[in-house]
């Protein structure tokens, strides 16, 4: 028993020492400095559940590749049957003032249609994640947020640092659709395990949980995400598989022609 | 007058053992009244429907699936010529939307307005989904773009912006509909600070506001007038008896009766409904009636035997009146129970059951507590009864003179009654069943003006919904099913009651048009189910995942067609429902997809229709119950028939007045007949019982003997009549339409019953000399 107390005390002291080493800004910098690789190939399953508990499942194949500081992403729908072959292409530009380019290929129409640039707070492909969250992949532009380390939590013997981020301006807050967020950062891998959001009125908005994080090809990778919107009770679950950071991705994969050709 | 020795002895014993009798009665009252605070108010109209009614079940289902309820609607109206497409008006829309989203009982994610909705338009390369209002201030250029966008988005024309551009609405779903009255008032207050700008006006209406506010509206005026009714009844009691006890004790019996009945309702978990207000009036009437008879007899006894002991006087009083009071209790209870067994609307059932219970309580307190209290007081002569001893009866007042005239020419009363009956029969045939909730407000009321303004400019703030249920998931991508939905919308739009319709088909067509370079010829359902599915995916590339939640479910098997209707009036709804039901049965006859008519319009139609069907039956059964009870008590069917005449005539006259003055038989007015029975039966029973007693105990000519009826029972009935008629007649001074109707009804019903009981009933007895009277 004494041993247990001593052990707990040691853990606590260690945690304190660890958290005291970092400021909120440094923690976010560490996250932002994490290497995510230059490219990735992955399949993912999306489960969208409405407040009545009815779930719609989509299966897609995605590719992402950096071309300098420009990021190109392409997603091909495999299921459900009705949307098989539908493909979505995005060019993200590092320059924030430049709108992203987006195209969608509708096989039923046999045409690629350009779609209007999404706002940062818009929802991504019917999920509860926004374009901002998809684009930034858990990272944050420190020029836009005030950061504050507000504490720590011990979850399953795992130390999590609680960092609160608040958009610096009201306008930014309205663009993003939230007034603040708290991210629970795992200092061992510099990734968030959980993020809680509050809307512009201060009501609980949603919670993102990175349920599984594993190292693939040397990169820490989220393989399962669950998002719950507390206002609409809509939930999203994304499960990633066949993740490969090494497989070669042809550059012409990110073209309108390839959208039409599909995965053949 | 020791007509009933056993009764005298019984009451003498009771008075000598006051505590043994009064203690349990008081304890019952205390036990019941202690729970009264748990009495819940349920003023919703859904309370009137059997919870298992298919229309109500379907309505609850659409609320659950599509997250829809009866909304509150705010209109921004600008009829100065510029219309609402000005930066000022659009900024006001944005302000109202933001203000509402911060309101506690409003679902911020379910507000629909130009500030929340998006335009769907296409160009040569793709489709744009763009919010109409993205930021404020709004430039002239943006204003023109919004106007252009609405002009090319048929769905929003009439639904969101009036076709003449004079108005646009903000629709808010309420989180808790029981709070709608408070929310209406809070929002109304908030809108006082709105930056109106040039020529803009704001109006609040919508079913969410109307139904919630209506009960509070009636309640508030009733709260002001009901105490006035109590004061007037008290004044009448003072004029009748001119003693303090003659005022205080009847009021005490009213309090005991009403308190016990409402306490019993709380105990059984029964809610206080809108029509329970009518029950309170009945309770007051019944409790006052019993007291008035006891007091009249009490003062008559004192006048005839001033030197008698207090207990002897009270026992004598009770020995004389217990029988008619008990008889009226039985007959009125029978009437109320008849109402309870024939209705399937919970508030009416409880009206009947607790009405019967209140009659019992009034009787219980009147024959126990009242005499016990009277026996504690020193007998004092009432000035009004100074000369009313038996010997001087014949030279008594006005009522005796009238009585003499009636008895002298009995056929006159009977003929007048018969003619009145025939005229009323014709008038009663004119009664139409109808209901329009908004018509219950006076025409100068803000909500009335708002409702009429909004509904004259927009497609309508009331909804008839059609719930589409397909067998398989994703079935709603099938063009055939979508075409059925579209055909149903077009059918609905041919009906004059429907302003416009909405369904997922409108969005699919708009998206199809947008994806085809905004070519108008593509404003149609695509032939390919895959394209429909892909259009959704395209929309959701940046749309809120719950965006189409109000039109279609996540599995794409349930959908809603919503028809906007400008008037929620039963006669309109009936035409609409009767036209659409066979259409849906025919169009959605296969097993793959079904369609159910629902929404507020359908629910309201169902229960008013049900009310129309059961009302006649309820009245007939209630009257039959009264007749049977009276026949059994007097051991004569003729007596039952005589008891029926005043109450039957009063109901008929009420319906005739309603028919002639175009008062609908609706929710509030449907209880009129029941109240007429509750307040009216007593008069006839007292008259018959007294006549029987007078004739049986004397060998004088009937006309001579029956004169006593007028001076004694007639006089008590006159006091009873005056107290109720004048007391509740005060409601006629209200400016709230339902209360004016209610007050008039009570006056008509009590007046008819009173006159018929003292004119027609004795006249018929004079003319036909029925055996039961003298046997």
Instruction: Count the neighbouring beta carbons within 10 Å of the beta carbon of residue B62.
Output: 22
The residue with greater pLDDT, A123 or B265, is B265
Residues B628/B765, Cβ–Cβ less than 8 Å? no
Residue B365 pLDDT > 90: yes
Pair A50, B553: CB distance under 8 Å: yes
Judge: B554–A236 Cβ closer than 8 Å, yes or no. Answer: no
Domain A22-261: which topology? outer membrane lipoprotein receptor (LolB), chain A (2.50.20)
- Report chain A residues whose CB lies below 8 A from the CB of B537: 77, 83, 86, 104, 106, 125-126
Residues A239 and A220: their CA atoms lie apart, in Å, by 15
In contact, B339 and B674? CB cutoff 8 Å: yes
pLDDT score of B700:
83
Q: What is the secondary structure of B32-82 as a DSSP string?
A: HHHTGGGPPB---GGGGS-TT-HHHHHHHHHHHHH---PPEEEEEE--SSS
Using pLDDT thresholds of 50, 70 and 90, give the confidence band for residue B94: very high
B710-747 pLDDT per residue, tens: 888 888 899 889 888 888 788 788 878 887 888 888 89
Distance from the Cα of A118 to chain B's closest Cα (Å) equals 6
Contact residues, chain A, for B543 at CB < 8 Å = 122-123, 126
Task: Look at A123 and B543 and tell me if their CB atoms are within 8 Å.
Answer: yes
Residues B668 and B741 sit within 8 Å (Cβ to Cβ): yes
pLDDT digits (tens, 9 = 90+) for A18-69: 545 788 889 999 999 988 888 999 999 999 998 888 888 999 999 999 998 8
**A107 contacts in B (CB within 8 Å)?**
530, 534
Closest CB from A56, A109, A131 relative to B554: A56
Question: What's the mean per-residue pLDDT of chain A?
Answer: 85
Domain ranges of chain A: 22-261
Indicate the pairing of strand A235-244 with strand A39-49: antiparallel
Q: How far apart are CA B642 and CA B769, in angstroms?
A: 12
pLDDT higher than 50, residue B699 = yes
Residue B563, CA atoms < 13 Å, CB-side half-sphere: 31
Higher pLDDT, B495 or A5: B495
Check if the beta carbon of residue B302 is closer than 8 Å to that of residue B326: no
- Residue-wise over B317-334: b if at least 16 C-beta within 10 A, else e? bbbbbbbbbbbbbbbbbb
Task: Locate B512 and state its tokens.
Answer: 């199809």
Q: Which residues from B are below 8 Å from A128, CB to CB?
A: 545
Lowest mean pLDDT among B263-267, B383-387, B602-606: B383-387
The partner residue sitting opposite A125, judged by closest CB among B535, B540, B555, is B540
Overall residue count recorded for chain B in this entry: 775
The answer to whether the CB atoms of B546 and A50 lie below 8 A apart is yes
> Strand (E) positions, A1-110?
39-49, 55-67, 70-79, 87-92, 101-106
The pLDDT of residue B540 is 79
Task: Record the tokens describing residue B34, joined without a space.
Answer: 């202690």
* B226 pLDDT higher than 80: no
Residues A122, A141: Cα–Cα separation, whole Å: 18
Cα gap B365→A199, rounded to integer Å: 61
Q: Which of B109, B127, B540 sits opposite A231 (nearest CB)?
A: B109
Which pLDDT score is estimated for B43? 67
Query: Does B544 contact A123 at a Cβ distance shorter than 8 Å?
Result: yes
Residue range B306-342, pLDDT digits in tens: 888 889 999 999 998 998 899 889 888 888 888 888 8
Write out chain B residues lying below 8 Å of A86, CB-based. Answer: 534, 537
Q: What is the pLDDT of residues B122-172, one digit of tens each?
A: 776 667 778 898 877 889 999 999 999 999 888 888 889 998 999 999 999
Please indicate whether residue A125 or residue B223 has the higher confidence score (pLDDT): A125
Nearest to B96 by CA among B208, B214, B197, B209: B197
Whether B537 and A104 lie within 8 Å, measured CB to CB: yes
Residue A55 with chain B: CB contacts under 8 Å: 554
Cα–Cα distance, B615 to A30 (Å, whole number): 77
Interior/surface letters A194-211, b for 16+ CB within 10 angstroms, e for the rest: bbbbbbbeeeebbbbbbe
Q: Which pair of structure tokens corresponds to residue B468?
A: 């589409």
Alpha-carbon distance of B600 to A190, in angstroms, equals 54
Query: Which residue of chain A comes nearest to B531, CA vs CA?
Result: A108
- Per-residue pLDDT at A16 exceeds 60: no
- pLDDT score recorded for residue B387: 55
Per-residue confidence at B262, pLDDT binned at 50, 70, 90? very high
The span from the CA of B150 to the CA of B171, in Å, is 17
Q: Which of B528, B537, B542 sits opposite A118 (nearest CB)?
A: B542
Residue in B127, B530, B546 closest to A234 by CB: B546
Looking at residue B203, its pLDDT comes to: 94
- Of the candidate ranges B42-46, B335-339, B443-447, B610-614, the one whose mean pLDDT is the lowest: B42-46
Burial status of residue B445 (CB atoms within 10 A of its CB: 0-12, 13-18, 19 or more): middle
Q: Provide the pLDDT confidence category of residue B567 given band limits of 50, 70 and 90.
A: very high
What's the pLDDT at B392?
A: 46
Nearest to B73 by CA among B325, B609, B356, B438: B438
Strands A111-115 and B126-131, bridge-based pairing: parallel
Whether A113 and B538 lie within 8 Å, measured CB to CB: yes
The vertex-B539 CA angle with B129 and A231, nearest 5°, equals 95
In a mutational test of the A interface, the residue from B106, B137, B542, B553 whose CB has the highest number of chain A CBs within 10 Å is: B542
**Token output for B208:** 């969410």
CB pairs under 8 A between A and B: 112
Q: What is the pLDDT of residue A9?
A: 45
The CA-based diameter of chain B, rounded to the nearest angstrom, is 110
DSSP state of B275: T
- What whole-number distance in Å separates Cα of residue B350 and Cα of residue B337? 10
Q: What percent of chain B has pLDDT over 70?
A: 97
CA B198 to chain centre: 41
**CA-derived radius of gyration, chain B:** 32
Contact A83 B109 (CB under 8 A): no
- Does the pLDDT at position A2 exceed 60? no
**Contact call for residues B281 and B675 (beta carbons, < 8 A):** yes
The predicted pLDDT at position B177 comes to 75
Mutate to test the interface with A, among B541, B552, B556, B559 (most CBs of A within 10 A): B541
Whether the pLDDT of residue B225 is over 80: the answer is no
* CB contacts, 8 Å: B530 with chain A: 82-83, 107-108
C-alpha pair distances (Å), B509 with each of A69, B29, B147, B307, B504: 40, 67, 20, 96, 9
Extract the tokens encoding B333.
Answer: 């209870």
Instruction: Annotate A146-214 with DSSP letters as a single string.
Output: EEEEEEEEEETTEEEEEEEEEESSHHHHHHHT-SEEEEEEETTTTEEEEEEEE-TTS-EEEEEEEEEEE
User: What's the pLDDT score for residue B498?
Assistant: 94
Q: Token pair of B93, please?
A: 């829309």
Q: Which residues from chain A sit within 8 angstroms of residue B559, using beta carbons?
A: none
How many helices (DSSP H) and strands (DSSP E) are in chain B? 26, 9
Q: What are the Cα distances from residue B349, in Å, to A25, B337, B344, B620?
A: 68, 8, 7, 15
pLDDT at B396: 56
Cβ atoms A113, A137 nearer than 8 A: no
Nearest CA in chain B to A82: B530
Q: Are strands A204-216 and A191-198 parallel, antiparallel or unpaired?
A: antiparallel
The per-residue pLDDT for range A115-164, each reduced to its tens digit, is: 776 677 788 888 899 888 888 888 898 889 999 999 988 877 789 999 99
Q: Is the pLDDT of residue B564 over 60?
A: yes
Which tokens sit at A176?
A: 């993003």
Q: Which residues of B touch A115 (CB under 8 A)?
A: 126-128, 538, 541-542
ipTM: 0.82
User: What residues of chain B lie within 8 A of the CB of A205, using their CB?
Assistant: none
- Put simply, the answer to whether A122 touches B535 (Cβ < 8 Å) is no
**In the structure encoding, which two tokens stand for residue B179, read together?**
């709070």
- pLDDT at position A20, please? 55
Q: Where are the alpha helices (DSSP H) in B409-528?
A: 410-428, 446-457, 479-493, 504-515
Structure tokens at B457: 């400019």
For chain A, the residues whose C-beta falls within 8 A of a C-beta of chain B are: 48-52, 54-56, 77, 80, 82-83, 86, 88, 102-104, 106-109, 113-116, 118-119, 122-128, 131, 201, 203, 229, 231-232, 234, 236
CB B655 within 8 A of CB B736: no
Length of chain A equals 264
Q: What is the 8-class DSSP label of residue B569?
A: B
Instruction: Output B222 or B749, whichever has higher pLDDT.
Output: B749
Q: What is the pLDDT of residue B2?
A: 44
pLDDT tens-digit series, residues B184-193: 889 989 999 9
Chain A touched by B558 (CB under 8 Å): no
Closest residue, chain B, to A230 (C-alpha): B109
Q: Would you state the pLDDT for residue A3? A: 44
Q: What pLDDT is stored for residue A223 in this prediction?
A: 94
Q: Are the beta carbons of B446 and B74 closer than 8 angstroms?
A: no
Mutation choice for A interface testing from B475, B554, B556, B559 by most A CBs within 10 A = B554
Q: Which B-chain residues 114-173 have CB contacts (< 8 A) with chain A?
A: 125-130
The most confident of the ranges B295-309, B644-658, B704-718 is B644-658
Burial annotation A93-131 (CB, 10 A radius, 16+ → b, else e): eeeeeeeeebbbbbbbbeebbbbbebbbbbbbbbbbbbb
**pLDDT tens, A232-244?**
889 999 999 999 9
Residue B713 is classified by DSSP as I
Q: Say which residues have a Cβ less than 8 Å from residue B647's Cβ, sequence separation at least 6.
A: B335, B623, B626, B676, B677, B680, B681, B684, B753
Contact flag B545-A108 (C-beta cutoff 8 Å): no
d(CA B431, CA B669) in angstroms, rounded, equals 11
Question: What's the whole-model pTM score?
Answer: 0.80
pLDDT of residue A264: 64
For B162, B165, B169, the CA distances from B457, given in Å and listed in that order, are: 6, 9, 10
Q: Dihedral sign for Cα A112, A114, A115, A117, please.
A: positive
pLDDT given at position A263: 77
Q: What angle do CA B379, B382, B384 make, to 5 degrees?
A: 160
Inter-chain residue contact B538 with A82, CB threshold 8 Å: no
To probe the interface with B, which of A60, A88, A106 has the most B CB atoms within 10 Å? Answer: A106
- Confidence check: pLDDT of B529 > 50: yes
| Of residues B105 and B505, more confidently modeled | B505
Is it the case that residue B198 has pLDDT exceeding 50?
Answer: yes
pLDDT digits (tens, 9 = 90+) for B37-59: 888 877 666 777 777 877 788 88
Q: Which of A177, A227, A232 to substitute to test the interface with B, most B CBs within 10 Å?
A: A232
Task: Give the model's pLDDT for residue B653.
Answer: 94
Nearest to B533 among A52, A83, A234 (CB): A83
Query: How confident is the model at residue A123, as a pLDDT?
Result: 84
Half-sphere exposure of residue A70, counting CA atoms within 13 Å on the CB side?
A: 11
CB contact under 8 A, B534 and A56: no
Q: Is a pLDDT exceeding 80 seen at residue B216?
A: no
Chain B residue nearest residue A106, CA to CA: B534
Residue B549 forms contact with A (CB below 8 Å): yes
Residues of A in contact with B532 (CB under 8 A): 82
Q: Kindly state the helix (H) or strand (E) to which residue B201 belongs, with its residue range.
A: strand B201-205
The whole-number average pLDDT for the span B207-235 is 79
Q: Rounded to an integer, what distance in angstroms lies between the CA atom of residue A61 and that of residue A56?
A: 17
CA B482, B486, B491, B497 dihedral sign is: positive
pLDDT at B659 over 60: yes
| Maximum separation of any 2 CA atoms in chain A, in Å | 72
Any A CB within 8 A of B540 CB: yes
Q: Is pLDDT at B686 greater than 70 in this prediction?
A: yes
């Amino acid at each position: 028993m004494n041993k247990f107390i001593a052990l707990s005390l040691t853990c606590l002291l260690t945690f304190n020492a660890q958290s005291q080493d970092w400021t909120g800004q440094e923690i976010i910098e560490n996250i932002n400095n994490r290497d995510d690789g230059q490219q990735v190939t992955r399949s993912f399953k999306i489960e969208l559940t409405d407040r009545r508990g009815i779930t719609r499942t989509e299966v897609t194949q995605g590719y992402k590749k950096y071309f300098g500081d420009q990021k190109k992403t392409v997603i091909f729908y495999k299921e459900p049957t009705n949307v098989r072959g539908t493909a979505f292409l995005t060019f993200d530009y590092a320059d924030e003032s430049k709108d992203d380019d987006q195209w969608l290929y509708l096989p039923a129409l046999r045409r690629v249609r350009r779609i209007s640039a999404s706002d940062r707070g818009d929802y991504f492909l019917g999920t509860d994640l926004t374009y901002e969250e998809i684009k930034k992949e858990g990272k944050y532009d420190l020029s836009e947020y005030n950061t504050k380390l507000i504490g720590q939590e011990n979850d399953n013997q795992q130390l999590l640092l609680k960092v609160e981020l608040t958009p610096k301006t009201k306008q930014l807050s309205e663009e993003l659709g939230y007034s603040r967020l708290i991210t629970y950062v795992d200092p061992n891998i510099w990734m968030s395990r959980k993020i809680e959001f509050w809307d512009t009125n201060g009501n609980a908005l949603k919670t993102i949980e990175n349920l599984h994080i594993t190292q693939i090809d040397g990169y820490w990778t989220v393989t399962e995400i669950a998002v719950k919107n507390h206002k609409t009770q809509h939930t999203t679950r994304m499960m990633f598989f066949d993740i490969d950071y090494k497989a070669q991705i042809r550059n012409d994969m990110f073209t309108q022609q390839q959208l039409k050709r599909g995965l053949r | 007058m020791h007509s009933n020795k056993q009764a005298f002895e019984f009451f003498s014993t009771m008075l000598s053992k006051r505590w043994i009798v009064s203690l349990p009665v008081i304890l019952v009252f205390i036990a019941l009244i202690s729970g009264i605070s748990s009495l819940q108010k349920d003023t919703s109209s859904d309370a009137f429907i059997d919870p298992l009614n298919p229309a109500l079940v379907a309505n609850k289902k659409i609320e659950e699936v599509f997250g829809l309820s009866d909304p509150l609607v705010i209109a921004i109206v600008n009829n100065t010529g510029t219309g609402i497409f000005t930066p000022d008006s659009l900024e006001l829309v944005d302000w109202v939307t933001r203000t509402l989203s911060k309101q506690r009982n409003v679902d911020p994610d379910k507000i629909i307005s130009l500030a929340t909705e998006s335009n769907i338009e296409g160009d040569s390369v793709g489709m744009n989904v763009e919010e109409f209002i993205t930021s404020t201030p709004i430039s002239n250029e943006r204003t023109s773009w919004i106007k252009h966008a609405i002009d090319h988005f048929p769905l929003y024309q009439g639904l969101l912006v009036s076709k003449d551009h004079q108005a646009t609405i903000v629709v808010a779903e309420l989180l808790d509909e029981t709070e709608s009255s408070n929310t209406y008032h809070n929002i109304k207050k908030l809108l006082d600070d709105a930056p109106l700008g040039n020529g803009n006006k704001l109006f609040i209406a919508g079913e969410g506001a109307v139904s919630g506010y209506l009960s509070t509206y009636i309640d508030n005026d009733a709260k002001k007038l009901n105490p006035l009714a109590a004061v007037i009844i008290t004044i009448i009691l003072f004029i009748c008896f001119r003693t303090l006890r003659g005022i205080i004790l009847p009021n005490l019996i009213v309090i005991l009766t009403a308190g016990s009945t409402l306490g019993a309702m709380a105990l059984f978990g029964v809610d206080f409904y809108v029509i329970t207000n009518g029950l309170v009036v009945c309770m007051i009437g019944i409790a006052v009636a019993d007291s008035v008879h006891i007091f009249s007899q009490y003062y008559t006894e004192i006048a005839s035997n001033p030197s008698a002991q207090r207990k002897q006087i009270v026992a004598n009083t009770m020995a004389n009146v217990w029988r008619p009071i008990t008889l009226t209790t039985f007959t009125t209870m029978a009437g109320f129970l008849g109402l309870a067994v024939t209705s399937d609307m919970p508030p009416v059932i409880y009206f009947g059951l607790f009405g019967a219970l209140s009659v019992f309580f009034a009787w219980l307190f009147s024959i126990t507590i009242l005499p016990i209290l009277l026996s504690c007081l020193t007998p004092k002569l009432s000035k009004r009864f100074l000369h009313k001893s038996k010997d001087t009866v014949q030279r008594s007042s006005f009522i005796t003179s009238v009585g003499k005239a009636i008895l002298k020419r009995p056929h006159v009363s009977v003929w007048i009654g018969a003619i009145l009956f025939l005229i009323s029969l014709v008038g009663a045939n004119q009664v139409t069943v109808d209901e329009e909730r908004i018509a219950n407000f006076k025409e100068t009321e803000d909500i009335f003006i708002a409702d009429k303004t909004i509904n004259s400019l927009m497609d309508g703030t009331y909804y008839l919904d059609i719930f589409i249920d397909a067998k398989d998931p994703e079935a709603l991508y099938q063009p055939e099913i979508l075409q059925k939905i579209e055909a149903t919308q077009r059918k609905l739009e041919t009906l004059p009651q429907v302003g416009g319709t909405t369904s997922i088909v409108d969005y699919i067509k708009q998206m199809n048009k947008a994806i085809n370079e905004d070519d108008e010829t593509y404003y149609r359902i695509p032939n390919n189910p895959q394209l429909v599915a892909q259009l959704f995916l395209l929309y959701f590339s940046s749309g809120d995942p719950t965006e189409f939640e109000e039109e279609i479910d996540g599995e794409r098997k349930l959908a809603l067609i919503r028809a906007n209707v400008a008037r929620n009036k039963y006669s309109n709804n009936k035409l609409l429902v009767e036209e659409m039901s066979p259409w849906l049965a025919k169009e959605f006859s296969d097993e793959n997809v079904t369609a159910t008519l629902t929404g507020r319009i359908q629910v309201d139609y169902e229960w008013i229709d049900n009310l129309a069907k059961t009302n006649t039956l309820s009245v007939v059964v209630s009257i039959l119950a009264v007749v049977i009870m009276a026949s059994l008590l007097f051991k004569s069917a003729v007596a039952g028939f005589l008891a029926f005449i005043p109450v039957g005539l009063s109901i008929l006259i009420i319906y005739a007045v309603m028919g002639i003055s175009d008062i609908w038989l609706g929710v509030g007015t449907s209880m009129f007949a029941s109240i007429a029975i509750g307040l009216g039966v007593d008069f006839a029973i007292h008259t018959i019982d007294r006549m029987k007693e007078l004739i049986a105990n004397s060998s004088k000519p009937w006309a001579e003997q029956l004169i006593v009826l007028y001076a004694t029972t007639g006089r008590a009935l006159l006091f009873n009549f005056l107290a109720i008629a004048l007391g509740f007649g005060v409601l006629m001074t209200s400016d709230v339409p339902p209360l004016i109707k209610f007050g008039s009804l009570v006056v008509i019903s009590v007046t008819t019953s009173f006159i018929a009981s003292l004119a027609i009933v004795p006249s018929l007895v004079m003319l036909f000399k029925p055996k039961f009277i003298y046997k």
